Amino acid sequence: MSHTCRIELDGKSYDFPTVEGTENERGIDITTLRDRTGYITLDEGYGNTGSCTSAITYIDGDKGILRYRGIPIEQLAEKASFIETAWLVIWGRLPTAEELQRFRTRLTANEMLHESLRNNFEGFPPNAHPMAILSAMINAMSCYEPDMMDIEDDTTLERAAARIISKVRTIAAASYKMSIGQPLMYPHPEYSYCKNFLHMMFSLPYGEYEPDPEIIHALSLFLILHADHEQNCSTSTVRMVASSGANMFASCAAGVCALWGPLHGGANVAVIEMLEFISQSGMKVSDYVAKVKEKDSKLRLMGFGHRVYKNFDPRSKILKAAADKMLARLNIQDPLLEIAGELEDVALNDPYFVERKLYPNVDFYSGIILRAMGIPLNMFTVMFAIGRMPGWIANWKEIHDNPKARLNRPRQIYIGNTIQDYVPIDQR
């Protein structure tokens, strides 16, 4: 049923149409608001603002539901590979066997870096943050792909997507190797996506790293669970950049920068730092939680809370189970996991967190799982970026394919000085 929204402003009334999504999410279409009324809406942090319609990912934050292209995340976690999931997210349906094979072949063909691009690594100091390197290198990739600056057909789009998804893994591993002063490892064409990444991270010229199958599985799961999450901060950034007509490489490089912050992708690092702090300080978990709750406290319980989920983040449930299984199988006794469990118990039973609907989010357990895989802390957010690449590409594609897409350009309410005269420097 279609509804109308009536707004009364300055004695006049205006009707605006409403829109309804396929899962009955409702919005008020205010596209003509400013032209008709002279008013804009103000929604700092965009908590109530739909910036687009999208057919990629559905989230019901109250019920803890996440689906890519309609398929529940639980089914993909159990049955799909990351590459199959990536294709689904980008192209809107599961690939046929032939399409999947073609995409895999493209990934393998693109796993190496151009030797000149490889040389760029030398320009970074050894302690450079891998997120800075990743963003710079994804942008630099565009210099080597002149035919992909303007994507006009599906084949070029698939080639470009394969190029970024494949090379981002090589760049990530290379930035780690550079940071510890080890030689960069070439990829192995016969390895799967995840095994190849682990090989480039941990093999040495004189010693091949053989990952436990449980580690490969956990990595695949981690990447699948991060593949998309509708209009989060980094994806919105990708869409913003894409809306100017910028190429896929530039748009995804911008996504990496947005992901870096501790309130977004950087939270998986902040979780481990918090757990380490509690462990090393000898502080009781309940005392830490009490500190977080203090009025005017700047401390937050990292890995808790979400702008959209007001229930358990479904990704954290899957990751927690995988973390438990992997730690048991590898016989890892991680004291941080104990603290994490205690924190979860305290927070889930504390009225402060219950009333505010603050549940563990994906970052709470992803840190634990990455740590158990041997991934260093400063690479955690890079791992998130590798996983999120299909989502960024799918969102870039949605804008690129939409003939009605407009330049994203929000308005503001100006609260600065009213007009004043310039004062010469000797009179200030």
Query: Which SS3 state, helix, strand or coil, does residue 207 take?
Result: strand
Query: Which SS3 state, helix, strand or coil, does residue 114 take?
Result: coil
Supply the DSSP string of 259-295, one letter for each residue.
HTSTTTTTHHHHHHHHHHHHHHHT--HHHHHHHHHST
Site for ligand ACO in 266-285 (CB under 6 A): 267
Measure the CA–CA gap between 85 and 83, rounded to whole angstroms: 5
Contact 140, 240 (CB under 8 A): no
List 305, 367, 390, 391, residue binding ligand ACO (CB under 6 A): 305
Interacting span for ligand ACO (CB under 6 A) from 82-90, 131-139, 245-253, 360-368: 360-368
> Would you count residue 292 as binding ligand ACO (CB under 6 A)?
yes
To ligand ACO, the closest distance from the beta carbon of 146 in angstroms equals 34
Contact 338, 362 (CB under 8 A): no
> Would you count residue 329 as binding ligand ACO (CB under 6 A)?
no
Task: Specify which residues 171 forms β-bridges with.
Answer: none
Measure the CA–CA gap between 159 and 149, rounded to whole angstroms: 12
> Would you count residue 211 as binding ligand ACO (CB under 6 A)?
no
Structure tokens at 110: 């693109």
Query: How does strand 12-20 pair with strand 4-9?
Result: antiparallel
> Would you count residue 362 as binding ligand ACO (CB under 6 A)?
yes
Measure the CA–CA gap between 128 and 179, rounded to whole angstroms: 7
> Would you count residue 306 as binding ligand ACO (CB under 6 A)?
yes
> Would you count residue 254 as binding ligand ACO (CB under 6 A)?
no
> Would you count residue 307 as binding ligand ACO (CB under 6 A)?
yes
> Which residue, 197 or 304, has its beta carbon nearer to ligand ACO?
304
Q: How far is CA 122 from CA 119, 128, 204, 250, in A?
A: 6, 11, 19, 22
> Would you count residue 328 as binding ligand ACO (CB under 6 A)?
no
> Would you count residue 367 as binding ligand ACO (CB under 6 A)?
no
Contact 120, 140 (CB under 8 A): yes
| Options 199, 229, 306, 400, the catalytic residue | 306
To ligand ACO, the closest distance from the beta carbon of 97 in angstroms equals 33
> Would you count residue 310 as binding ligand ACO (CB under 6 A)?
no
> Would you count residue 291 as binding ligand ACO (CB under 6 A)?
no
Contact 216, 388 (CB under 8 A): no
> Which residue, 141 or 278, has its beta carbon nearer to ligand ACO?
278
To ligand ACO, the closest distance from the beta carbon of 82 in angstroms equals 17
Measure the CA–CA gap between 396 and 240, rounded to whole angstroms: 9
> Which residue, 264 or 329, has its beta carbon nearer to ligand ACO?
264
List 304, 359, 365, 392, residue binding ligand ACO (CB under 6 A): 304
Catalytic residue flag (residue 363): yes
Query: For helices 380-401 and 362-373, what crossing angle results, to 10°?
Result: 120
Interacting span for ligand ACO (CB under 6 A) from 52-60, 277-285, 354-362, 406-414: 354-362
List 358, 369, 375, 379, residue binding ligand ACO (CB under 6 A): 358
List 302, 322, 336, 340, residue binding ligand ACO (CB under 6 A): 302
Nearest to 171 by CA among 382, 392, 389, 388: 382
- The catalytic residue positions are 306, 363
Which parts of this chain interact with ligand ACO (CB under 6 A)? 263-264, 267, 292, 300-307, 356, 358, 361-363
